[in-house]
């Protein structure tokens, strides 16, 4: 009886920990050998010599507990509740000013809840000429310990503008498919398919087409699970934030890169109906989505076109 009571007590403490942190303690991807915790199984080339895994969902933050996590599902986003952003907010936010990792690396506005509308406040390491992954790398959100992404520092990072370009426009893949606009589980966004994607897995329409509409691929949850299990990544159209105003939720996707552009702006991936541009730039004060990646230290044959 004492042993049973002890097990029950330990179980209760474990459940309380999960509730308090807001993190999932299991990751289905962990059942596959060598897949990092918090990563999607698909491998993506970001240059001729580098490959990465994408995180299982967009980055989220809760100020009241100083907790970073990945969204539970790839199609999840916070939306208009980002307007509640503050240093004590108990909910989750997922639209961040550029370089707001929480580390005091030289920027004036470095906290995840920063909502200053002065661009120079967001200079990584205090100078506009630095990218997020320059210097110590601590201006990059991925430097944080992500509670359901291994919970260790400096494991994840943000793609540079050149790497976003390579993923979307330059990769050589087995199928010839790199991305497609889609509506997944009633959420608009963009699907990225891994280097070794097989066309027999699921039929994709209007792929590699920036001007395609989201409704060219309407995918229910059951079929999305098939795509995800084969390494598919989904970037939801989560909108943007300026100060405490949130707009374009569900119709527009804005994803930061680690690359600065000029004194006022940084590069980001932008998409909406009939548009997809990895070379976009906007003011650093805007709150955009963040999708992190980690290194895939594997070797495999490059596929012929």
pLDDT 10s digits, 262-276: 999 999 999 999 999
The residues near 129 (Cβ < 8 Å, ≥ 6 apart) are: 260
**Tokens describing residue 191:** 């699907």
The residues near 277 (Cβ < 8 Å, ≥ 6 apart) are: 210, 269, 270, 271
In angstroms, the CA 84 to CA 87 distance is 10
Q: Tell me what pLDDT residue 145 has.
A: 98
Average pLDDT, the chain: 91
pLDDT at residue 8 greater than cutoff 60: no
Whole-model pTM: value is 0.90
In angstroms, the CA 240 to CA 94 distance is 9
Query: What is the maximum alpha-carbon separation in the chain?
Result: 68
In angstroms, the CA 95 to CA 149 distance is 19
Q: What percent of the chain has pLDDT over 70?
A: 87
pLDDT digits (tens, 9 = 90+) for 171-187: 999 999 999 999 999 99
CB 276 within 8 A of CB 114: no
Lowest mean pLDDT among 31-40, 69-78, 118-127, 267-276: 31-40
In angstroms, the CA 10 to CA 7 distance is 5
Confidence of residue 299 (pLDDT cuts 50, 70, 90): low
* Mean pLDDT of all residues in 100-113: 98
Is residue 265 within a helix (H) or strand (E), and if so which, with residue range? Answer: strand 265-272
* Mean pLDDT of all residues in 237-247: 98
Match 């003011």 to its residue by tokens.
Answer: 283
In angstroms, the CA 167 to CA 278 distance is 10
């Amino acid at each position: 009886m004492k042993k049973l009571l002890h097990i029950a007590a330990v179980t209760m403490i474990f459940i309380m920990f999960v509730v308090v942190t807001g993190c999932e303690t299991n990751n289905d991807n962990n059942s596959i050998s060598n897949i990092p915790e918090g990563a999607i199984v698909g491998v993506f080339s970001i240059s001729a010599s580098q490959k990465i895994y994408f995180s299982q969902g967009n980055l989220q933050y809760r100020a009241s507990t100083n907790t970073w996590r990945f969204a539970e599902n790839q199609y999840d986003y916070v939306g208009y509740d980002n307007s509640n952003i503050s240093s004590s907010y108990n909910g989750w936010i997922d639209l961040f000013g550029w370089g707001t990792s929480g580390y005091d690396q030289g920027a004036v506005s470095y906290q995840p809840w920063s909502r200053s509308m002065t661009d120079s406040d967001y200079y990584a390491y205090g100078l506009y000429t630095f990218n997020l992954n320059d210097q110590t790398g601590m201006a990059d959100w991925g430097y944080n310990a992500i509670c359901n992404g291994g919970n260790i520092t400096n494991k994840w990072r943000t793609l540079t503008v050149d790497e976003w370009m390579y993923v979307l426009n330059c990769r050589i893949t087995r199928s010839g498919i790199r991305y497609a606009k889609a509506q997944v589980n009633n959420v608009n966004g963009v699907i990225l398919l891994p280097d070794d994607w097989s066309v027999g897995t699921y039929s994709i329409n209007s792929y590699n087409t920036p001007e395609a509409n989201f409704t060219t691929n309407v995918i229910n949850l059951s079929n999305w699970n098939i795509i995800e299990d084969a390494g598919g990544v989904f970037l939801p159209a989560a909108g943007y934030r300026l100060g405490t105003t949130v707009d374009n939720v569900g119709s527009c996707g804005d994803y930061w890169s680690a690359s600065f552009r000029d004194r006022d702006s940084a590069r980001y991936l932008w998409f909406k109906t009939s548009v997809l541009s990895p070379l976009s730039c906007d003011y650093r004060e805007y709150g955009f989505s963040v999708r992190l990646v980690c290194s895939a230290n594997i070797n495999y044959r490059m596929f012929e076109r």
